[in-house]
Structures are given as structure tokens and as C-alpha cells.
Structure 1
Amino acid sequence: MSKKNKKHQEHEEHSDESWLLPYSDLMTLLLALFIVLFGMSTVDAKKFQEMSEAFQSVLTGGAGVLDQTALESNTKTSPDPEDVSKTDNLMKQKKELMRKETENLEALKKQLDNYIKNNGLTTQLDTKLNQSQLMITISDNALFPSGEAQVKPDARALAKAISNMLQKFPDYEVIVSGHTDNVPISNHEFASNWDLSSVRALNFMKILLLNENLDPKKFSAIGYGEYHPVASNDTNVGRAQNRRVEVSIIRKYQDGDQQIGMPATHEP
């Protein structure tokens, strides 16, 4: 074989690969283009502008798209010191308001407890302060004749005493709720225990509001009937505990999930 033919075969076996360089550049540009197109389909105009600038930076040898995205992510996750300071101040203010509120309700509870003790009403009235409210529980026989909703004449003094204490704390929501046992009632006046409990709560609230220093906008009356017992209805003692009126002074600042403006529920 001639030397000329031999050289020709070697040239064919080792072809020129210089075309790979522009091809790889083209693939890189296509990949960058697909990234931009994907970004256009998933981000808003502002994000698109940022992506476009990052794309230009890649073409001019600056920071890459991934580098710029990482930089923006780190910048956005850094909390604003001013926002942190405002949040801390709000938390401190809320804690201080909660502390003052607790002091107010503890003072009101102490007044109520002294009144109950001094008037020999420990078997008929009770007070309880928790994270949602200060509750005054009054047995039904202290307020109403059996099966009736008219407040006894001697119970009006109790209502007046409670209203006088409440007027010192005018900013609180007050809910008066009526409760019964599960013994059915049906007479010419009340078709059910629900009716009886509602009217009892309303009548007692009306007597409280005879005090003109109280704001009616802060008061509401609810009848729960037999559906929120605090004891078993299987005994006379339990049924007597379930027949009651509750006056709830609702906290304005609360921890936990207890809904503001609603009294705590009871289970038997």
C-alpha cells in the first residue's frame, strides 16, 4: 500500500473533533433557556425579572442562577431586627395586660368569696377562676321556686350585690347561663328544660342590669338546658348540682385555645 493511501486512512480514523466545543456551548445555552422558561411558568413577574438578570449574569461570566437563588434565599430567611423587636414588645405588653387582668379577677373573686362566707351562702354559691373566665355558680333553689323562672324576692339582694361588684370592672364581657337536670318538664309556661333554662338566665340578667352603671352591651344570656351537666343525673344530689345559673366574667387575654367570649363547657 502506498504511503499516500496509508496517511489517508489514518486521517479518516482520527477525524477532526473541534465541532464538539460549539456543540457543548449550544447545549449549555439551551439548558439555561429551559431553566428560564420553567421559571416563567412558575413565578411572578418580579421573580422572572430576577431570573432574567441571573441568566444574563451566567452569559457574562457572573454568578450563576443557582448561586443567586441561594443568595436570595439566605437573605430572605434572615429576620428583620426591627420586626423581632416589635414582636417582643407586643408579647411583653400582652403579658403585662394578662398579669393586670389576673389581679383584677382575683380581687373580684376575693370580694365574692367574702360575701358568700359572710352571708352563709357557701352551700349555694361557688366561684372559680381559670384561664378563660371567673365563674360564679348559683344553685337554682337559691334563686327560683321549683320549676319556675321568676327570681325569688330574697334573691334580688344577691343579684344586687353581684352587680355592685361587677360595676368596678366595666370592661369585661359577662355571660349569664341557665342549666337544668335531665328530668323532662312540660307545663303551660315551659315546653322543655331548654325553655326553662333560657328564661331563668334572662330573668337573672335583667335584675343585674337594674344597676345603671352596668353596660347592657357587655351582657348576654344563654340557656343550655340539660346539656352541660357538672354531675351525674342518676342521683338527687347530682341533679341538684346540675340545676344552676352561672355568671361568667370572660377574660380578654387568654392562653391556649379557649375561645374568647364563650364559657367553659362542663362534663359529668
Structure 2
Amino acid sequence: MQKRLFLITMAAGCLFMSSCVSKKALEGCQNENKELTGEIKELSRNYQEAKEQLAASRSRVASLEDQLEVQKKGAAALQQALDKSLTASNQTTVNISKLVDQINESNQYIRHLVEVKSKSDSLNMVLTNNLTRSLSREEMKEVDVQVLKGVVYISLADNMLYKSGSYEINDRAAETLSKIAKIIMDYKDYDVLVEGNTDDVPISRQNIRNNWDLSCLRASSVVQYLQTHYGVDPKRLTAGGRGEYNPLASNGTEVGRTRNRRTQIIITPKLDQFMDLIDKAPEAN
């Protein structure tokens, strides 16, 4: 009898120990699964960001290739003019040496344009990457950064910048604007246009007649905030408002109206740099 009781006790103990080991193994697998799930989500986000950057790079490459094609056609036209001049050399005296110099100058100018375009694209990519890296995930939900035709557009939702129905900067905006201001300060050869946009819902408040007023006042508030709080040179800043007349989406839905209520900070190379570039173009006879 005692022997049977001993055997039953031993069997129960073995079952209990086996149950404990299985539970610990299960918990370990569950924890490992959570970690792997988190890593997969992070890898997916990084993959998406890489895809977006690749698409932007391909777009810039396509634009540059189009410009090169135009310039090649110009060079071909000059070469054709040279060929015609050589053919008609028995009838007309042509300064071949000068024409060759003009072709060389044109080719040099084409190379200069390509170098400037490439430098501009590289600077804009670095600027965009620096800005997006400095913004938190929460900020990136309300801040959209794009590069279009060599210009950097930073679009901010109105509810993260202003008090409701107002043009006063709220406390939430301070940290985000400080990061944007740092980028602006780092790139001193760029001008900054702050552009206010609204939806088409009419507004009528004291000292605000309509959406034109509201969009201009909001842009002016951001410009003055960048100047007074972060020391951005006011000579580089321009404030403008477009009211309800530059929508991104239909104002027929709340989602569309939310997208349209935005402020854009547009960062561009200074205009006088482009004018200097034009002045360096070779003269054509």
C-alpha cells in the first residue's frame, strides 16, 4: 500500500514539474514573438521610408535627364550651324574659330548648369533628411516634407500651430518650429516663404474680415515667431496668404477641409543666385 502511494506521489510531482516547464517555455515564446513583431513593424517603416526617398530621387534624376536632353538639342543645333557654315565657306566668309569658341562656351555652360542642378538637388536632399530625422513620429503625423522642382515644402497642419480659429501660435508649435528654425539657420543661402492656406468655410471675427485675412495673419505670425524666438534673419523671410484658393483636396468633406487648412514653409535658393547664373550664359549671335 505504501509503495503504491509513493509511486502515485512521484507521478504527480513529475506532472507538476512538466506543467511548470511548459508554462515557462510558452511565456518565453510569447515574449520572443512580441519582440519579433516589433522588429518587423520597425523594418516595415524603414522600408517604406527608403521607398519614398528612392521615388523622390528617381523623380529628380528624370527631371535632370530632361534638362540634359534639351541642352543636347541646343548643342546639336549649334553643331548643325557650324556644319552649314563650313559648307557655305566658299560663298561667305565665316569666322570659324569664333563659332567653335561659342560652341565650347555653350558646352561649358551646359556642364555648369548640370553641376548647379546636381548641387541643388544634393543640398535639398540633405536638408530634407536632416529635418525629417529631427522630427518625432508624432510630429511627422502633422508635418509633411516634400521636394518639388528643387524647392523644399514643409506643410504644417493648422491645429498644431494655432489656437482654434485664431492666428496666434500655440504652445504645441514651439518645439516643432524650433527644429525647422535650426534647419533654416543652417542653410543661410536659402530664402524662406511662409504661406497660409484655409478651407472655404467663411470666417467673420473682430479684425478678421475673411479667409484672406486669416491666411495672411497666420503666415505673418509664423514669420515673426521664427524671427523673435529663434533669430532667423527677417531679410530671408516672406509672409503670404492664399486664403481658400489653393486647396489640396475638396472642401466637401471634413477630411478635405482639414488638409486645406495648412501653413507651408517653402525653402528655396536665393533668386539672385539664379540671376547670377543667367548673367553667366554665353552670348548668342
Match of 1:235 in 2: 253
Are 1:71 and 2:52 an aligned pair? no
Q: Which amino acid aligns with 1:75?
A: V
- How far off its partner does 1:124 sit? 0.6
* 1:202-243 Cα deviation digits (max 9, x unpaired): 11011112333x332221010000000000000000000000
1:71 Cα deviation (Å)?
2.3
CA distance in 2 between counterparts of 1:209 and 1:80 reads 52
State which of 104, 114, 133 in structure 2 corresponds to 1:114: 133
Distance change (3 Å), C-alpha of 1:71 and 1:177: same
Q: 2:244 aligns with which of 190, 203, 226?
A: 226
* Contact 2:121 2:150 survives alignment (8 Å): no
Count of residues paired in the alignment: 183
Aligned amino acid, residue 172 of structure 2: D
More helix by share: 2
Alpha-carbon distance in 2 for matches of 1:182, 1:108 = 33
Contact 2:139 2:176 (8 Å CA) reproduced:
no
Is the Cα–Cα contact under 8 Å of residues 159 and 208 in structure 1 kept in the other structure?
Answer: yes
- List aligned pairs for 1:37-116, cutoff 5 A: 71-72=91-92, 75=94, 80-116=99-135
For residues 270 and 91 of structure 2, what CA distance do their matches in structure 1 show?
44
State how far apart, in whole Å, the 2-side matches of 1:137 and 1:70 are: 64
1:93 Cα deviation from its structure 2 partner: 1.5
Query: In 2, are the aligned partners of 1:190 and 1:196 still within 8 Å (CA)?
Result: yes
Q: Which residues of 2 match residues 147-162 of structure 1 at below 5 A?
A: 147-162=165-180
Q: 2:213 matched to 1:195?
A: yes
Q: How far apart, CA to CA, are the structure 2 residues paired with 1:85 and 1:96?
A: 16
What secondary structure sits across from 1:221 in the alignment? strand
Q: Secondary structure at the match of 1:121?
A: helix
For the residues of structure 2 that align with 1:77 and 1:232, how far apart are their CA atoms?
Answer: 60
Alignment equivalent of 2:141, drawn from 118, 123, 129? 123
Match of 2:262 among 244, 250, 253: 244
1:69 Cα deviation from its structure 2 partner: 11
Question: 2 CA distance for matches of 1:220 and 1:203?
Answer: 11
Deviation at 1:121, TM superposition (A): 1.5
Change (3 A) 1:178 1:78: same
Q: Deviations over 1:25-53 (max 9, x none)?
A: xxxxxxxxxxxxxxxxxxxxxxxxxxxxx
Contact persistence 2:153–2:266 (CA under 8 A): yes
Taking structure 1 as the reference length, the TM-score comes to 0.63
Q: Tell me how far 1:132 sits from its aligned partner.
A: 3.9
Q: Is the alpha carbon distance of 1:252 and 1:97 closer, same or farther for their aligned partners in structure 2, counting shifts above 3 Å? A: farther
Distance 1:76 1:124, change over 3 A: same
**Is contact 1:163-1:209 (8 Å) kept?**
no
User: For the residues of structure 1 that align with 2:146 and 2:216, how far apart are their CA atoms?
Assistant: 22
Matched to 1:175, the amino acid is: L
Higher CA-based Rg = 1
Aligned counterparts of 1:78 and 1:147: Cα–Cα separation in 2: 69
Q: What SS does the corresponding residue of 1:231 show, helix, strand or coil?
A: coil
SS of the aligned residue for 2:199 comes to: coil
Amino acid at match of 2:132: D
Question: Does the residue aligned with 1:232 lie in a helix, a strand or coil?
Answer: coil
The answer to whether the 8 A contact 1:162-1:208 is kept is no
Deviation, 1:70, is 8.4
Contact 1:125 1:139 in 2 (8 A): yes
Distance 1:190 1:230 in 2: 23
Contact 1:160 1:207 in 2 (8 A): no
The answer to whether the Cα contact below 8 Å between 2:192 and 2:238 also exists between their aligned partners in 1 is yes
Match of 2:186 in 1: 168
Distance across 1 between alignment mates of 2:96 and 2:156: 55
